[in-house]
Amino acid sequence: MRFDVVTLFPEMFAAVSEHGITRRARELGLWTMATWSPRDFTSDRHRTVDDRPFGGGPGMVLMAEPLAAAVSAAGAAQRWAGHATGTVVALSASGRRLTDARVRQWAKECGALTLVCGRYEGIDQRFLDALVDEEVSIGDFVLSGGEIAAMAVIDAVVRQLPGALKIESSAEESFATGLLDAPHFTRPERWRERPVPAALLSGHHAQIDRWRREQALAKTARERPDLIASARAAGRLDERDEKFLRDCAQGTGGTVPPALGNPSSAAAKTADNAA
Ligand code: SAH
């Protein structure tokens, strides 16, 4: 897969190309990246990429033409490398919220993706209308630039590419099953008076799977009831799951360990911090 990133700060992208799983995947040849600075597509002496907003107001707006020239250079490079011209995505706080489903679809279907990073107050709307296929937000908050959002997209897409993860664990991660991930534990078996849940030490695979399923159900019901509703609508909850959720709602779901049963236990956290 190939990413072309239009950005005023290309050096930031070493964070994904040079570290961790994404670095390894790049070294395995699973993805490549090229960056395009709109500054290199300006024609004035000061290499101006932004200007004041029409209608007044604070801040500056990225001008359409340098971005357009950068996107078309990226498209040409994609075709030169044998790809179809990639989908053009602009990172934007007012875009459509990114989902696991969209990430997986890009990983599966897109040979190339062009990511356009805004800065300042944002991007001239005419560029978005003329050249951008979709605007994507990574959450309901405002970043100072699209770079961190673009890196989030690259990281999330790359780990879905076949061979990127050493163990193919992504099928069990949060969202993949329609539920949030179950909690994880490692050694020591007892840490600051907190034991590992007994079910995980049982060595009994069916029991462990059931425990994880119930933890995922309980956590999802607590943090993201909307996901429970979608899982139910998609027919992903069986009768046992439904019974467990009913028991939870009545306060009799017996398997949530105390340390997890009350995540906002401020007193417990304070005690830990003092320790
Ligand atoms: N005036 C804009 C914010 C501009 S922030 C507004 O109120 O919506 C500058 C740039 O950061 C944006 O152009 C966009 O590229 C990026 N950005 C900010 N928040 C983002 C988010 N939640 N998701 C994706 N990109 C974001």
Q: What is the pLDDT of residues 165-221, one digit of tens each?
A: 988 777 878 898 899 999 999 999 999 999 999 999 999 999 999 999 999 999 999
Q: What percent of the chain has a predicted confidence (pLDDT) above 90?
A: 85
Question: Given the CA of residue 117, which atom of ligand 1 is nearest to it?
Answer: 15
User: At residue 12, does pLDDT exceed 50?
Assistant: yes
Q: Mark whether 20 and 139 lie in a shared domain.
A: yes
> Closest ligand 1 atom, CA of 138?
23
**Nearest atom in ligand 1 to 137's CA:** 23
Angle 168-83-81 (CA atoms, 0-180°, nearest 5)?
Answer: 105
Same domain, 26 and 84: yes
Q: What pLDDT digit, counting tens, does each position of 137-174 carry?
A: 999 999 999 999 999 999 999 999 999 998 877 787 88
**Domain that residue 222 falls in:** 190-274
Protein residue with its CA nearest to atom 23 in ligand 1: 137
Distance, in Å, from the CA atom of 275 to the CA atom of 268, rounded to the nearest integer, reads 11
Token duo for residue 51: 């200007």
Ligand 1 pocket, CB under 6 A: 91-94, 117-119, 121-123, 137-139, 141-143, 145-146, 149
CATH number of domain containing 93: 3.40.1280.10
Q: What is the CATH number of the domain that holds 249?
A: 1.10.1270
Say yes or no: 139 and 198 in one domain: no
Residues 161 and 200 both lie in one domain: no
203 with 148, same domain: the answer is no
Rounded Cα distance between 69 and 37, Å, is 10
Question: For residue 188, is the peptide bond before it cis, meaning its omega torsion is within 30 degrees of 0?
Answer: yes
Same domain, 269 and 151: no
For ligand 1, pick from 92, 99, 123 the residue to mutate: most ligand atoms within 8 Å of CB. 92
The number of distinct structural domains making up the chain is 2
In a domain, 180, yes or no: no
- Res. 254: pLDDT tops 60: no
Q: Residue 175 domain-assigned? A: no
Asked if 76 and 115 sit in the same domain, the reply is yes
- Residue among 5, 61, 88, 91 to mutate when testing ligand 1 (max atoms within 8 A of CB): 91
8 has pLDDT over 70: yes
Does the residue 163 lie in any domain? yes
Whether the pLDDT of residue 258 is over 50: the answer is no
Flag whether pLDDT at 257 surpasses 80: no
What's the pTM? 0.91
Q: Are residues 156 and 227 in the same domain?
A: no
